[in-house]
Amino acid sequence: MSDRRLRLWLGFVFTYLAIATLGRIALLDLVPHLFTASPLRELAGPLALTFAAGLANDLATGLVLGLPFLIALFVFPRWLAHADGWRFARTVAAVMPAVFIMVAVGEYYFFVEFAIRPNRLILAYLEFPREAFGFLLDALLEIAAAGAPLALLVAATARCLREPMRRAFARPPTPFERRRAFVACAVLSGFAALGLSNDPLRPTGVRELDEIAANGLYTLARAARAEPEDYDSHYPTLDEEESLRLVRVRLAQDNATFLAPEGVRSFLRRVSPDRPAGAGPRFRNVVLVIEESLGMSLVEGNHEDGTPIAPRLNALAAEGLYFDNIHATGTRTVRGIEAIMTSFPPIPGASTARRPGSEEMNSLPLLLAQEGFETAFLYAGRAGFDGMAPFMSTIGVDTVLDQDDILESGFETVWGVADEYLFAEAIRRLDARRGDAAPYFMTLLTVSNHTPFAFPEGRIDRPAAPPRQANVASYADWAIGDFIDRARTRPWFDDTLFVVMADHGPRLAGSETIPMEAFRIPVLFLNPSKLGPRRVHTLGSSIDVGPTIAGLLGTHHVTPLLGVDLLQVPAERGRAVMEHNYAIAFAADGEMTVLVPDRDPEGYRIGVNPTLSALAKPSPAHLRETIAHFQTAHRMFYSGGYHEITRGLVAPDIVARIEAAGVSASAWFPRSRPTPRHR
């Protein structure tokens, strides 16, 4: 009788393994480039390792899931033999395969969007059910379409299990059988604890295959346990003094002088452009357009018929100051906002915008406020999503606006209004500003180039259905061009600096832990009357956009930001910082080093586009510099060192240096700011 109970339990585990394996096979359909890039015979070994490691990961997870059932079979035999227990056991055993299938479908759609197994993003999305429902809509429709087959599966399973379960529950287990079950439970509990405390097996070194080898429930459980503050226990560290020195060297630029002495966790610099002090900003308005997911793979890409995806943006690039070697810091909008608005490197885990303590971080809005700018943020969706409104409100944005503030919204998805209506609202607000108003810095964040990839009909020569990202990217490109065309007719156009960039690229693709090319984004500075056309190839990051905007304004100012003005550093000294799923990367001098928690650092040689070729190990100097940047950023955030403007944390001797440089420290470091408006 005991053997019959064990067979029932093993059947549960094997059912889970079978469904997880089928799900793994389905995920291979999402990485077709792996099969086109290499002959099948070269992939045979990695694929075998993928499925072997996947089976081990699934087995560990299946044993954990099956542990309560094993305990119930041997600890509560009399209740299971009772009518209520019997019905409960049959129901659970019949429903679980359908649940496993639904989980596998959900994992498939998560991989479609993020090219990884489920992680902390799911936990973040659960806080915003409106957007989460929209994200999961395709998966829910798929599951609903399979409703009848799933119901038949449940009914068939219940019927097949009826007789085996009746025989297994015919009599309670003997004391010996119970003791044996307890021993098995203890062993399995130890195995499960050991498995869940370690990183899932990642056998191939190919990022996508290693993600497919992982188990989604396993990775989700690890994400829920993650402690973002515990940096030093999982990543290599460096002597503090050397770390600060290395970061300081990278932040040096031709027209800046450090105000804080070496060895201090502050990087305040006095920026002195080649213009008279007090001349005022070169532009009266700055309009920063952050385009959802419009990475270089789309901007430089073509439709299937060979026509370009983004003709308008490429035409505008020929008119302006265009940076074609800039890299996003992450793969989510919140990472883009963190980098663009605060020039803060991406420490592993959640964006600082989502962490306690993000209030009053050093930022571009705070910097521009010292130059007299009013600041506003206009989002096409709900500003509460991902904590955008509270974050923006505490880093110097005077007015936070969202889709409820857009007067005309003729087309919407679950994420917000179509791009053209966001831009129309921006023009309306710029038109309404009086000539004697303060300088204005307005940030616009679009949503159209996002699942479900829907857009208004008739705007471009592309069908809106069925949804395709290339088509909606062309719509987003059209909307940018239309926005600039309409702005050209306004009296404020010649006095406005337009900045157009992406928050991050589209779906991640690439075999490396950090596929650098997938992070590359366009950055365009446009003002035909004051900026001549120029293409810049300097390696840079989203964190450099704010300091470059400040540099183009041409004012003498003090900056605490951890980015650089890309026009004031030698081209060969550019660098980029990136993060994905707890892996962090630093690229500079033709090399990229990747730090992964509790694993050896990875090194790559950077080629054209950029292509990456793996090194046996990173060069010692590059590894130290990589460690220095992320260690310094992490410690600055958690010590409050990146909050020095608003919290009055600047040492008296540094304040004296600022005053000596001709800047009013009392104006530059206000102890309080007016309450931001969110309307």
Tokens read off for 456? 């208004």
Span 63-69, average pLDDT: 80
Residue 288: pLDDT band with limits 50, 70, 90: very high
Antiparallel, parallel or unpaired: β 496-502 and 534-536: unpaired
pLDDT, mean of residues 103-115: 82
For residue 85, with 0-12 CB atoms within 10 Å meaning exposed, 13-18 middle and 19 or more buried, which class applies? middle
**Per-residue confidence (pLDDT) for residue 677, from 0 to 100:** 47
State pTM to two decimals.
0.84
Q: Give the range among 21-35, 89-103, 132-146 with minimum mean pLDDT.
A: 132-146
What is the phi-psi region of residue 610: left when phi exceeds 0, alpha when psi lies from -120 to 50, beta otherwise?
beta
Q: Region 253-257: what's the mean pLDDT?
A: 92
Calpha distance 345→541 (Å, rounded): 9
User: Is 160's pLDDT higher than 50?
Assistant: yes
CA 358 to chain centre: 17
Question: Tell me, what amino acid is at 24?
Answer: R
pLDDT of amino acid 129: 57
In this structure, how many other beta carbons lie within 10 angstroms of the beta carbon of residue 41? 7
Instruction: Write down the pLDDT at residue 674.
Output: 42
Own/partner long-range contacts of 669-677 (Cβ < 8 Å, ≥24 apart): 669/644, 669/645, 670/645, 670/646, 671/646, 672/646, 673/369, 673/396, 673/646, 674/398, 676/392, 676/393, 676/394, 676/397, 676/398, 676/399, 676/400, 677/398, 677/399, 677/400
Q: Quote the CA–CA distance of 487 and 477 in Å, as a whole number.
A: 15
Residue 673 clears pLDDT 80, i.e. is over it? no
Confidence of residue 666 (pLDDT cuts 50, 70, 90): low
The DSSP symbol for 387 reads G
Per residue in 572-616, pLDDT tens? 899 999 999 889 999 999 999 999 988 899 999 998 878 899 999
**pLDDT of residue 142 exceeding 80:** no
Q: Percentage of residues in the chain with pLDDT exceeding 90?
A: 47
Distance of CA 75 to the CA centre of its chain: 45
Query: What is the chain's mean pLDDT, rounded?
Result: 85
Least confident of 6-20, 574-588, 611-625: 6-20
Q: Which residues pair with 605 in a beta bridge?
A: 591, 613
Q: Residue 473: pLDDT above 90? A: yes
**Helix H or strand E segment including 477:** helix 469-488
Q: Which two tokens stand for residue 549?
A: 């905007």
Residue 151: count of CB within 10 angstroms of its CB: 11
CA proximity to 481, closest of 498, 504, 458: 498
* pLDDT beyond 70 at 136: no
Lowest mean pLDDT among 88-97, 99-108, 475-484: 88-97
What's residue 93's pLDDT? 74
pLDDT of residue 224: 64
Q: Is the pLDDT of residue 218 over 50?
A: yes
Residue 675: the pLDDT is: 44
* Displacement of CA 568 from its chain's centroid (Å): 28
Domains of the chain: 2-225 (no CATH), 244-289+299-510+526-575+648-667 (3.40.720.10)
pLDDT band at residue 63, thresholds of 50, 70 and 90? confident
* Residue 676 confidence (pLDDT) above 50: no
Region 265-277: mean pLDDT is: 88
pLDDT-derived band at 458 (thresholds 50, 70, 90) equals very high
Backbone angles phi, psi at 138, to 5 degrees: -60, -45
Question: Averaging pLDDT over each range in 256-265, 322-331, 667-676, which range is the top one?
Answer: 322-331
pLDDT value of residue 637: 93
Inter-residue contact 310 to 298 (CB < 8 Å): yes
Confidence of residue 650 (pLDDT cuts 50, 70, 90): low
pLDDT score of 133:
60
Whether the pLDDT of residue 368 is over 80: the answer is yes
- Of the pLDDT bands very low, low, confident and very high (cuts 50, 70, 90), residue 564 is very high
Mean pLDDT over 342-370 rounds to 91
- Phi, psi for residue 365 in degrees, rounded to 5: -60, -40
Q: Which residue has the higher pLDDT, 100 or 525?
A: 525
Indicate whether 518 pLDDT > 60. Answer: yes
